[in-house]
Protein backbone atom coordinates (compact mmCIF):
# COMPACT_ATOMS: atom_id res chain seq x y z
CA UNK A 1 0.00 0.00 0.00
CA UNK A 2 3.04 2.24 0.24
CA UNK A 3 2.70 3.02 -3.47
CA UNK A 4 -0.67 4.67 -2.77
CA UNK A 5 0.33 6.70 0.32
CA UNK A 6 0.86 10.00 -1.51
CA UNK A 7 -2.35 9.59 -3.52
CA UNK A 8 -4.39 8.91 -0.38
CA UNK A 9 -2.70 11.67 1.62
CA UNK A 10 -3.80 14.21 -0.99
CA UNK A 11 -7.48 13.33 -0.61
CA UNK A 12 -9.22 16.08 1.36
CA UNK A 13 -12.27 14.18 2.55
CA UNK A 14 -11.32 11.75 5.33
CA UNK A 15 -14.32 9.46 4.72
CA UNK A 16 -13.54 9.23 1.01
CA UNK A 17 -9.87 8.61 1.78
CA UNK A 18 -10.68 5.85 4.30
CA UNK A 19 -13.08 4.13 1.92
CA UNK A 20 -10.64 4.34 -1.00
CA UNK A 21 -7.86 2.99 1.21
CA UNK A 22 -10.12 0.11 2.27
CA UNK A 23 -10.87 -0.81 -1.36
CA UNK A 24 -7.21 -0.59 -2.41
CA UNK A 25 -6.12 -2.66 0.60
CA UNK A 26 -8.78 -5.25 -0.20
CA UNK A 27 -7.54 -5.57 -3.79
CA UNK A 28 -3.95 -5.86 -2.57
CA UNK A 29 -4.83 -8.55 -0.02
CA UNK A 30 -7.25 -10.49 -2.23
CA UNK A 31 -4.99 -10.43 -5.30
CA UNK A 32 -1.43 -10.30 -3.93
CA UNK A 33 0.14 -11.05 -7.33
CA UNK A 34 -1.29 -7.90 -8.92
CA UNK A 35 1.18 -5.05 -9.22
CA UNK A 36 -0.05 -1.77 -7.68
CA UNK A 37 1.01 1.52 -9.26
CA UNK A 38 0.00 5.12 -9.77
CA UNK A 39 -0.62 5.87 -13.45
CA UNK A 40 -2.44 8.91 -14.79
CA UNK A 41 -2.59 10.17 -11.19
CA UNK A 42 -4.77 7.24 -10.10
CA UNK A 43 -4.29 3.83 -8.48
CA UNK A 44 -4.11 0.93 -10.92
CA UNK A 45 -3.33 -2.76 -10.71
CA UNK A 46 -1.68 -4.80 -13.44
CA UNK A 47 -0.71 -8.41 -14.03
CA UNK A 48 2.23 -9.49 -16.24
CA UNK A 49 2.38 -5.95 -17.65
CA UNK A 50 -1.29 -5.76 -18.59
CA UNK A 51 -3.89 -3.48 -17.04
CA UNK A 52 -6.43 -5.20 -14.80
CA UNK A 53 -8.29 -2.42 -12.95
CA UNK A 54 -7.97 1.21 -11.92
CA UNK A 55 -9.70 3.54 -9.50
CA UNK A 56 -10.27 7.27 -9.32
CA UNK A 57 -12.17 9.53 -6.99
CA UNK A 58 -14.60 12.35 -7.57
CA UNK A 59 -16.76 14.51 -5.38
CA UNK A 60 -19.72 12.12 -5.50
CA UNK A 61 -18.19 8.69 -6.15
CA UNK A 62 -15.36 6.22 -6.41
CA UNK A 63 -14.90 5.28 -10.07
CA UNK A 64 -13.90 1.72 -10.97
CA UNK A 65 -12.29 1.29 -14.39
CA UNK A 66 -11.97 -2.35 -15.49
CA UNK A 67 -12.06 -1.70 -19.28
CA UNK A 68 -15.08 -2.07 -21.53
CA UNK A 69 -14.99 -5.87 -21.87
CA UNK A 70 -15.58 -6.31 -18.13
CA UNK A 71 -18.25 -3.59 -18.06
CA UNK A 72 -20.13 -5.37 -20.84
CA UNK A 73 -19.68 -8.81 -19.26
CA UNK A 74 -21.01 -7.66 -15.87
CA UNK A 75 -23.47 -4.98 -17.02
CA UNK A 76 -26.49 -6.66 -15.43
CA UNK A 77 -24.74 -7.18 -12.09
CA UNK A 78 -23.44 -3.61 -12.12
CA UNK A 79 -26.95 -2.31 -12.77
CA UNK A 80 -28.37 -4.61 -10.09
CA UNK A 81 -26.09 -3.04 -7.47
CA UNK A 82 -27.42 0.40 -8.36
CA UNK A 83 -24.07 1.59 -9.68
CA UNK A 84 -24.23 3.70 -12.82
CA UNK A 85 -21.76 3.02 -15.55
CA UNK A 86 -20.36 4.28 -18.80
CA UNK A 87 -18.52 2.39 -21.51
CA UNK A 88 -15.33 2.16 -19.41
CA UNK A 89 -16.19 2.76 -15.72
CA UNK A 90 -18.77 2.18 -13.06
CA UNK A 91 -19.35 4.55 -10.19
CA UNK A 92 -19.81 3.65 -6.54
CA UNK A 93 -21.44 6.60 -4.79
CA UNK A 94 -19.82 7.47 -1.50
CA UNK A 95 -23.05 6.65 0.37
CA UNK A 96 -23.50 3.26 -1.38
CA UNK A 97 -21.99 -0.01 -0.16
CA UNK A 98 -19.01 -1.46 -1.99
CA UNK A 99 -19.92 -4.81 -3.53
CA UNK A 100 -16.66 -6.66 -2.97
CA UNK A 101 -18.08 -9.83 -4.51
CA UNK A 102 -18.68 -7.96 -7.76
CA UNK A 103 -15.21 -6.39 -7.61
CA UNK A 104 -13.67 -9.82 -7.14
CA UNK A 105 -15.57 -11.20 -10.14
CA UNK A 106 -14.53 -8.25 -12.32
CA UNK A 107 -10.86 -8.54 -11.38
CA UNK A 108 -10.82 -12.31 -11.81
CA UNK A 109 -12.56 -11.96 -15.19
CA UNK A 110 -9.89 -9.51 -16.37
CA UNK A 111 -7.07 -11.70 -15.08
CA UNK A 112 -8.41 -14.73 -16.94
CA UNK A 113 -9.52 -12.87 -20.06
CA UNK A 114 -6.15 -11.12 -20.36
CA UNK A 115 -3.96 -14.09 -19.36
CA UNK A 116 -2.40 -14.20 -22.81
CA UNK A 117 -2.52 -10.46 -23.42
CA UNK A 118 0.91 -9.04 -24.24
CA UNK A 119 -0.11 -5.36 -24.26
CA UNK A 120 -1.18 -3.04 -21.47
CA UNK A 121 -4.67 -2.49 -22.95
CA UNK A 122 -6.91 -4.90 -24.80
CA UNK A 123 -6.66 -4.54 -28.56
**What's the pLDDT score for residue 65?**
97
Mean pLDDT over 48-56 rounds to 97
122 pLDDT higher than 90: no
pLDDT (tens digit per residue) in 14-43:
999 999 999 999 999 999 999 999 999 999
How far apart CA 9 and CA 86 sit, in angstroms, is: 28
In this predicted model, what pLDDT tens digit does every residue of 85-94 receive, in sequence order?
999 999 999 9
pLDDT at 53: 98
What torsion do the CA atoms of 51, 52, 56, 61 make, to the nearest 10 degrees? Answer: 150
The ranges assigned to domains in the chain are 2-113
Span 76-105, average pLDDT: 96
Secondary structure percentages of the chain, helix, strand, coil, to 5: 40, 25, 35
Domain 2-113 -> CATH class = alpha beta
pLDDT of residue 82: 94
CB 57 within 8 A of CB 11: yes
Cα–Cα distances in angstroms (integers) from residue 90 to residues 14, 53, 110, in the given order: 22, 11, 15
Which stretches of 1-123 are assigned E, i.e. beta strand? 35-39, 42-47, 50-57, 61-65, 84-85, 90-93
Supply φ then ψ for residue 38, to 5 degrees: -105, 120
pTM value? 0.94
Residue 108 confidence (pLDDT) = 98
Amino acid sequence: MEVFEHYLANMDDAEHRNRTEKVLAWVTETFPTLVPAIKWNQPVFSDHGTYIIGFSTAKKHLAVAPENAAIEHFSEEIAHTGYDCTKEIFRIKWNSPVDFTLLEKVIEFNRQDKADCSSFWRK
